[in-house]
Every structure is written in C-alpha cells, then in structure tokens.
Structure 1
C-alpha cells in the first residue's frame, strides 16, 4: 500500500471512528444526552416539528405534522410524567395526510411550569383549551386523543367543550371509579393506611432499579432495556421528580380523583375507548364504566397489553384510531345525504 493510499485509509477510518466513539462515550457516560438525540432524530425522521404557542405570558410547547385539511386535525395528550414525544411511536403509523399535534401538558417538558398553576384535571383542561384557542385549532372540530392522565383530561375536555371536537379517543383514562381495583391502586391504598408521610410512589422512580419496576408495572410486554438506558431515563426524570410528586398528589385529591366519572355523561361526541386487558395501573373494568355512560361508544380491548398501550401496541393503536375516524366521517357524510 503506497503512502497516499494509507493516508486516505486512515482519514476514512478516522472519519467513521469519531461518531462511533462519540456514540459509545455517550452511551456509557451521558445516556441522558443520547435519549434526547434519539427523540430529536425520530422527530426529524417522522416530519414532526417543534413549535411554541403563547397564551398571555404562558407558553405551550408542541410538535406538529401537516396542515389542516378535509380530515379532522388530531390533538394528542400524553400521560403522567411523560411528554409530547411519547406519541412518536403512534405518529410513525398514522397516515401522513393527517394534521397531527402533540402538546406538552402543563408543567411538562417545554410547557410553562409555574408554582401558581392549577395542576388538577380541571386546571389542565382549562390550559388545554387556552392552547387550542392560541393556535386556532377549534376553527373546525378536531379529534382529541388522550392516554391515562391525558385520557382523563381529554374526556373532561370533551364534556366541557363539545363544540370544539368532532370525536374523542380515550386510552385507559384516569378519573374513574373502577369496579375492579388494580395492583397500583391497591398499593396506593396500602401506602395511605401505612401513615408514611413521604411514601415512595411507583410512578416516580429515582433509581434505575425503580425505573425497571415501574416499566414492569406499566407494561405487559417485557422490554429489554440496557442498564445505561435505564440510567439515562432516570437522569432525565430526577430534576422533575418534585414536580411529579406535587402533580400526583393533585391528581389523587378529591377534586380530580373521579372527575371523569362525574363528567362522562356529558360526552356527546362519538367516543372510542381503548384499553389493555392486562393493565395493572388502571383496571380494564373502567372500559365498561365509560361505554355504559357514553351511548354508541366503541370499545377496543387489546390482549397481552398493559397500561402503556401507546408503547406496547403502537401500530394497532394507530390503526384503531384511523379506522375510527373513517367510520365517524362515513357516518357524518351519510347524515348529510339523508
């Protein structure tokens, strides 16, 4: 090999080696940074743009793809301690011609977090309505999707602002009285009876081991996650754990605990209910509670699936939402021609 060829080989090898070393270093030393890069990459790959909207001095952070068209826009509300990027798994399988919006709920990720804010379900519903108005989303009725805490917010929003939306999808929502008590709710009851003033809440992990236990609680599917990634997930969450604790206490307070139960009879738009059969956080028996209260609602129970429906069955969930929207549009078109 001549000297020029050797130099080219070394330069090419060095060019490849630098990003590989950067990746390996990040994986072992800064896993949290790697997780942020992961979300950044998938947002770009899926065409999701990060944007901001202001309502007075309050700022909302959201991602969106596409523009309003003949089909209803879709607004997606994440669960407790999550953020807008949790919907990327679903966005991957939704048609590209849908106008899709995923917003950080109050206090989460890029949306304003103020100690003066009301983080009860009613307070969050009010904020989401402000967000909808700030981007003029309610110029035409849109489809609202929410999971867990976000499902409760979505359900109460549908009850309070029926003219804003054309339909709603509730994925294992909080805020109900469940005929069968889940493993998680039983644990909360035990903590309450113990009298511990600062109990460990399973949904607010502070170590990699606790993170793994939380994932086992939330998912029926057993994801194999490297310890470094678990640590990265914890590193991202720990700075926010004090807020999560305050939020959690607001959610289990009398004001919010059963608010969807109290409002569900006022939901008049077409409703879709999706639940994981093996949900250990909020029992699947809640699906019957909702379907009995909302006339004509469609219920989809996913087998071999836990509370993290969006993560465990993203392709199936996206198809169910797409099919549901098609059926709602078909029904509306038939009414117009009758």
Structure 2
C-alpha cells in the first residue's frame, strides 16, 4: 500500500512539475505572444549555431548574426526585406551547410541596428550604410556572395553596381522597386490608391491590427495558411513601436529617389547574377525577372511555381538549394578560367 502511495505521489509531483511550464506557456501565449515570438527566434538562432554580434563605426552600430568562418567557399551576406530583420533568414540558413560563413545583418534602422532621424533610408543610402558595415567587419577582404530579398534585393543590386570589386556573385529574390515594363500587381493598385489619397490610407505592408496583418500575409504569400489570432496580435505588438519608422522608410524606398534605383544601376552590375522569383508574386510582378535578364546577359533566372513574394518563407529549402548551386557553379567556373589561363 505504501509503495502504491509512493507511485501516486510520484505521478502527482511529476504532473505538477510539468504543469508549471505548460501553464506558463499557455499564459504567455494568451497574454504576451510577442515575447514568445522573440523567444522563438532566440531558440532557432541557438539551434542553428548563429551568434548575434555588434559592429560599431563612428557612433553607428550594426547588429548582425553570423555562423562559421571564411573558407574555400565565398562568405554570404544576406539582406532582409522591408520591416523585417536578420532572423527572417533563419528558415533559409537552416538548409545551408554549417561550414559556410554566413552573415545576416539588420538593415539600417531595423531591429538592433542604429536608427536616427537624419538617416538616409533611400535605396542608395542603405547601400552606402551596408558598405560601411562590410568594411567594419572586414567582410570585403575577399569577394563575397550577396543575397537580398524584396527591399534587401533592391539594395543588393545597387550595392553590387556601386562596389563591383567586393561581390563575386549576387542573388536577388523578388527585388522591389519599379522596373521598366513589368505588369501591374495587386500591390501596385494599392500604391496608386495611396498616392491618390495623399498617403492617408493605411499602407498594406505596415499592418496595425491582426486583421491587417492577415491581409498582408495574403498579399505577400501564395500559400494560404491559418495563423492563430494570438500570433497575429503578437506580430502586431512587435511592430507597433516601429510604425512611424516603417512609414518613413516606406516613403523613402517608394519615392522618386529610390523607385527606379535598381533599373538605373543594372547596367553597372558586373558580377554573375541570379534572380529567384515567385510566379504568383502580388507585390512585384514576376515579369521583372525578364527585364533584369534582358539587361544582363548570362543572368540565371529561377521561377518558383505556387509561390508569392515571400519566397524565403514559402520555399526556404528550395531557395537555399538554388543559392548554393549558383555559388558552386560560379566558383567552379572561376576555377576553370584560372586553369585555362
């Protein structure tokens, strides 16, 4: 009988021990979903072996995460999109070999990187800041592979044009900005409505409610999935303190100074270029890939079926595979040229 009581007590203690973290998780999920989202990113950085670091230059601080050390393959610098952060690359980094040197930086003013009222957040201004970052951490000791998605793709293209000796190859994923002759998208219609209203309407890429957050996911993703209301609220809560800043950046990157930045710099890009685009992109039409390929001979174009603007989120494994294939192909081509010469 005493033994039976011991077993019962053991189950009660074990159940109570497990109930505490489970209850804490449920309460956190319901009351502080934004805290859980941050914890999620922290967990996956740790799991994938990424370390968060800071680089200071003249009073300006860059926040970035990195994994590995420079080796035989070129280092990879990854630039995220508008209103995102370095952790948005975690889904892709998961499928890249651990021996590669990978650097994911928070774009100017985003997440842990310095935000100032006097900063130039135009595409050209951001490219100059990223160059400052590259010089600060010494990433340009030898040419690296540059990857950018959406706004980051626009910046990556301008960067490669302005600093050609620093990039050995480039991958642009659904780069934003306007290119000559692409078809209009659902987002283009939103932009026209915004301009006609003198920007008094809500900006689709800056959601302020769970409903608007869900609408943004529908706009950016072809894949339809149901996101719990608590998670949507958590994502809104994370963005809420930065709304004014995002509005400022939006006006900069879609203003006259930046709108055609990529188009105007395409002819200056000399490094081998890869373009990855979702065929169902509703933000920047996939026809932009053809415009880029026509401007740059030898450009590799990879179009993804049943995929929208959020390629990194919708097709992380395929994206990592395509990037790695391109890097290896370019490195092999350079090796062949050296042998023949």
When the two structures are superposed, what TM-score results if normalisation uses the length of structure 2? 0.97
**Is the contact between residue 55 and residue 62 of structure 2 (CA under 8 Å) also seen in structure 1?**
yes
2:56 maps to: 54
Residue of structure 1 equivalent to 2:306: 304
Partner of 1:202: 204
User: How many angstroms apart in 2 are the aligned matches of 1:196 and 1:119?
Assistant: 20
Counterpart position of 2:22: 20
1:63 to 56, 62, 65: 65
Q: Which residue of 2 aligns with 1:112?
A: 114
Is 1:332 aligned to 2:334, yes or no? yes
**Aligned equivalents of 2:190 and 2:119: distance in 1?**
29
**Which of 252, 256, 268 is the matching residue for 1:254?**
256
Looking at structure 1, the residues matched to 60 and 14 of structure 2 have their Cα atoms a distance apart, in angstroms, of 49
The 2-side partners of 1:174 and 1:160 are apart by 18
Equivalent residues in 2 for 1:1-338 (5 A)?
A: 2=2, 3-177=5-179, 178-193=181-196, 195-338=197-340
Looking at structure 2, the residues matched to 105 and 179 of structure 1 have their Cα atoms a distance apart, in angstroms, of 27
Q: Deviations over 1:177-202 (max 9, x none)?
A: 25211110122112212x34522110
Aligned-residue CA RMSD in angstroms?
A: 1.1
C-alpha distance in 2 between matches for 1:182 and 1:98: 36
What SS does the corresponding residue of 1:117 show, helix, strand or coil?
coil
SS at match of 1:163: helix
Query: Do the aligned partners of 2:89 and 2:104 also contact (CA within 8 Å) in 1?
Result: yes
Change (3 A) 1:71 1:197: closer
**Any stretches of 5+ residues in structure 2 without a counterpart?**
none
Aligned residues: 337
Distance 1:186 1:265 in 2: 29
Give deviations 1:238-262, integer Å, cap 9, x for gaps: 1101100010001111110000000
Question: Does the CA contact (< 8 Å) of 2:194 and 2:200 recur in 1?
Answer: no
Q: Distance in 1 between matches of 2:155 and 2:223?
A: 26
Q: Distance in 1 between matches of 2:62 and 2:148?
A: 17
| 2-structure distance, mates of 1:191, 1:70 | 48
Deviation at 1:4, TM superposition (A): 4.1
Could you tell me which runs of 5 or more consecutive residues in structure 1 were left unpaired when the two chains were aligned.
Answer: none
